[in-house]
């Protein structure tokens, strides 16, 4: 990856998740832990690539609900957007060059802020 970027003078690597922010209960626990691991991996790659003075940049995207085939039957998906809207938001986020982005930004950025800071007791009542 680094060699390819040096040859091309640019490049990017991207990682996607929202549940990585906090541990989640019930059947989401393993899924959330896996996503948190990917977020940590992305951060580690980001550090390594900066140390190597690589032109590759790693963007970690935390998408909210985006309507796709995998969730087409889900009834309770607040703030869901269609796939075209979600994909455009992801492209804008990647092109922004920011290390971490919530997609779409509204309302997921404030939700992400709260998710990282809410006490466990509050999360237990929410889920």
Question: Hey, which residues are catalytic here?
Answer: 31
Across 19-85, where does the E strand assignment appear?
56-63
CA–CA separation, 37 vs 33, rounded Å?
6
Annotate 101-114 with b (16+ C-beta within 10 A) or e (fewer): bbbbeeebbebbee
Distance of CA 91 to the CA centre of its chain: 13
């Amino acid at each position: 990856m680094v060699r390819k970027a040096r040859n091309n003078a640019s490049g990017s690597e991207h990682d996607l998740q929202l549940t990585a922010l906090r541990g989640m209960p019930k059947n989401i626990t393993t899924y959330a832990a896996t996503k948190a691991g990917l977020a940590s991996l992305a951060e580690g790659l980001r550090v390594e690539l900066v140390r190597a003075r690589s032109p590759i940049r790693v963007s970690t995207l935390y998408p909210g609900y985006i309507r796709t085939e995998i969730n087409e039957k889900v009834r309770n998906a607040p703030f869901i957007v269609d796939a075209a809207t979600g994909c455009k938001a992801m492209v804008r986020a990647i092109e922004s060059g920011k290390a971490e982005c919530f997609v779409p930004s509204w309302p997921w950025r404030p939700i992400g802020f709260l998710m990282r800071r809410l006490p466990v007791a509050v999360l237990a009542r929410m889920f």
